[in-house]
Amino acid sequence: MYIWLICTEDDTMIVGRKEELDYLRNAINDDRSNFIVIYGRRRIGKTFLVNEAFNNKFTFKTAGLAPNKENPKSSNKVAQIKHFVDNLKKYGMKINEKVESWEKVFSLLDDFIQKSKDKRKIVFLDELAWMDTPQSGFLTAFESFWNDWMSGRKDVTLIVCASSSSWIVNKVIHNKGGLHNRVTKSINLSPFTLKECEEYSNSYNLGLSKKQILDSYMVFGGVPLYWSKFIRGNTPEMNIDHLFFEENAELKNEFDDLYDSLFNESRDYKKIVGALASKKKGLTRDEISNICKIGSNGDFSSKLENLENCGIIRSYHCFGKKSHDTLYQLLDNFTLFYFNFMASKPNDERYFQNMSQTPKLNTWKGLSFERVVLQHVNEIKKALGFYAVSNDVCSWIKKGDKNRNTKGRQIDLIIARKDDVIDIIEDKYSISEYNLSKNEVDEWKERADDFVKDNSIKSAIHLILVTPYGINDKTKLNLITKVLTLEDLFI
């Protein structure tokens, strides 16, 4: 997530990511060396965070070269090493020899650090995954650099970042070789919450109401760089058309750019999210495998795990079921928007503005609002007053049986609390007060009764409705436990 700096006459006000910023700045006061890993999806603000934490002042800083499919040599091992060495030269190191291996690169970096007069040596290696080209020996050399030269010092803060969350989680954080348990701190940068988007909107005078922030969030999620491209005074629909559907729209190719930058061989990843985009309830591993025609092997498991590490999908267990019944559900707002509106490549520059009040748009908004609710479970807990209580967040699905004339049932969000209460969360998108009918409540209660019977529940059951503006008939409040509104999601 980005840290946004707003300049005032008195000082500089920082909006967002204060906890992470404080940690990074305090790390330079440690009496040991630090190995800090920062990861998160593309455009989430990792580089911005580190630059702001240290005012862009480093003992040494470099970044891997982005992969280039059209010209692979521009980002291969030779190019990556040359780029690294060129940056060492820019920082003042004299290098006359030809450098051809990563072992030599890190030996030079060690010499450079040894000679540095900085009290605290702050080294920032950005986009580390891009340096790790096939058969380059990068990771082995990097392991030796930390273990043999840096870890024994007391004056080094090494910070590494990567947009490929899967690479950095598997290769660095969960490394089973030379880097095992070497990371002193890992920071997973999450997207903005609705509240933080509101803070950003207010700070930059975007003129967005809470409703407009919600509508924007359902498309852009909490990805800071997307929000930074909004035009002040534009409605969400105008911004969407401007960024996605105009002839030279800046984010017209964002779907391919996003997945191609996150994953090698991204085609299978796109198939997986495409399959999940078509199923509201989610799919099992075997269902995804069959739809996408991808073998259900270890590589397929890695792809699902990688998508989850990037926050694009979520896996969730069904209450009372075993782990093999895990379901996968598309969580990323932009990806869901893409498959609903962009994949067909419409050529109308006012496409989204012209979609107003169409059934397709209304259906998508209902589905997208469900995703927003899932992304704000912590805010729901705070609003219900049990944030500090231990709890388990899960879902429940029961298949129907035609022979027994039983209905299929699904509850997307259940919070099983350790204080003997189970909250069943229902959500309904509406642009005004929701017209809650008794029949609807009866259906919810029937579903809750099935859940209780199916799982032999003894805890108290609370029915919670999340809808932006509450309900229009307050006499029906006694039919459910509590109604949460848009205000509660902005806590």
Of 367, 380, 441, which Cα lies nearest the Cα of 414? 380
Say if residue 328's pLDDT is above 70. yes
Q: CA angle at residue 356 from 352 to 357, to 5 degrees?
A: 145
Contacts for 439-447: CB closer than 8 Å, 24+ residues apart: 441/476, 441/479, 441/480, 444/480, 447/409, 447/411
| C-beta separation of 290 from 282 below 8 A | no
**Res 323: pLDDT:** 56
Average pLDDT of 133-150? 97
User: Backbone dihedral region of 233: left (phi > 0), alpha (psi from -120 to 50 degrees) or beta?
Assistant: left
CB burial string 244-268: b at 16+ within 10 A, e below: bbeeebebbebbeebbbbbbeeeee
pLDDT band at 15 (very low <50, low <70, confident <90, very high): low
**Res 27: pLDDT:** 92
**Residues 380-422: pLDDT tens digits?**
999 999 877 778 888 898 888 878 777 888 898 999 999 999 9
Joined together, the tokens standing for residue 126 give 């950005």
- The full DSSP string for 254-278 is HHHHHHHHH-SSTHHHHHHHHHHHT
Q: CA 116, CA 454: separation in Å to the nearest integer?
A: 66
Average pLDDT of 446-450? 94
Joined together, the tokens standing for residue 472 give 């229009």
